[in-house]
Structure 1
Amino acid sequence: MLSLFLVALASATLLPGGSEVWLARQWCLGQPVGMLWLVATAGNSLGSMINVGLGRYARRFQHRRWFPASSQGLARAERWYRRFGEYSLLLAWAPVIGDPLTVLAGVFRLPWWRALLWVVVAKGGRYAMVLYLAHQWLAPLCA
């Protein structure tokens, strides 16, 4: 279970990872479904909250030359975030866009508890779907 937690945590940061595959593997090995869901959701949510924290911290360097976003890019991101707001974190599970959304939540100072709420809903929903699909499709292969 610790390995699942660590893979899920790393997968939620800007590091690449394959937590869904690891989760399905653990399911095939007969681990309890509820515990798998809880561990994967907790690890992945913690990783996303690390991104939120990085976003909060990074904002103080926005006027430095090496900062990865220009003032115009940051203004454009802020307009987008103001339009869709914290509800955009329901897409925190999505590949490619999910991690930057959690960083933006930090950059634009979404309260921690609200960021955590939306992230847990998004990540928990994704892992519930992965476990459901594993049950539907992988059951014959795992026997």
Structure 2
Amino acid sequence: MWTDLGYLGLFLASFLAATVIPFSSEFVLSGMLAAGGDPVLSLITATTGNWLGGLTSYYIGWLGKYEWIEKYLRIPKSKLEKWHDKVSGREWWIALFCWLPGIGDILAVMLGLLKSNFWLSATGMLVGKALRYVVWSLLTLEVISNI
């Protein structure tokens, strides 16, 4: 279904996969490559969609307020501030792992919630997501060439 929409479908699938919606965009990327999609354009499309989805999760976290976390999750503001201090300076490395299934979305929201440096978080997220899709694309193209 997603590949029927071409690059738009790949973009949407990649975007959704980077939000809290459980979804695997890697298979859509493989489908695009198997259908003869341009590898570079497919890689750029998937990476852009997934990165923008991750930034959306970051922004959702950014909208959160410490007072809400304190009230509803009973985590004291002082503890959140300590987490912020621990994350500060490590945003790039933490964001690099936002591609991981299951915890990547949580990392993106956490980076936003802790008001982490946007540019460090965004670039780390972009690099991590791009590397994941590069590896996946190379594996897919290798399988396709051996069929």
| Smaller-chain TM-score bracket | 0.7 to 0.9
State the alpha-carbon separation in 1 of the partners of residues 77 and 105 from structure 2. Answer: 17
Aligned length: 139
| Aligned residue in 2 for 1:40 | 46
Q: Indicate the residue corresponding to 1:50 in structure 2.
A: 56
1:74-115 per-residue CA deviation (whole Å, 9 max, x = no partner) reads 937953871554411111111111110000110111232222
Give the superposition deviation at 1:131. 0.3
CA distance in 2, matches of 1:104, 1:56: 8
Change (3 A) 1:61 1:129: same
Opposite residue 73 of structure 2, the aligned amino acid is A
Runs (5+) with no aligned partner, structure 1: none
Return the letter of the residue paired with 1:46.
Answer: L
The structure-2 alpha-carbon separation of the partners of 1:43 and 1:88, relative to structure 1 and needing over 3 Å to count, comes to same
Q: Identify unmatched segments of 5+ residues in structure 2.
A: 1-6
Q: Deviation at 1:72?
A: 5.2
Say which structure, 1 or 2, has more relative contact order (CA 8 Å, 6+ apart).
1
For each residue in 1:37-85, what CA deviation from the matched residue of structure 2 results, as whole angstroms up to 9, or x when unmatched?
10000000000000010001022552575xx633159937953871554
Please report the RMSD computed on the Cα atoms of aligned residues, expressed in angstroms.
2.4
SS, match of residue 17 in structure 1: coil
Q: Name the counterpart of 1:128.
A: 134
Counterpart amino acid of 2:104? G
Q: Distance in 2 between matches of 1:28 and 1:77?
A: 48
2:123 to 107, 111, 117: 117
**TM-score after normalising by structure 2:** 0.83
1:22 maps to: 28
Percent sequence identity is 24
2:91–2:120 contact (8 Å) kept in structure 1? no
If the length of structure 1 is used for normalisation, what is the TM-score?
Answer: 0.85
Give 4+ residue runs of structure 1 displaced > 4 Å after superposition: none
Structure 2 equivalent of residue 107 of structure 1: 113
1:58-137 superposed matches below 5 A: 58-59=64-65, 62=68, 65=71, 69-71=73-75, 75=79, 79=83, 82=86, 85-137=91-143
Indicate conservation of the 8 Å contact 2:98/2:108, yes or no.
yes
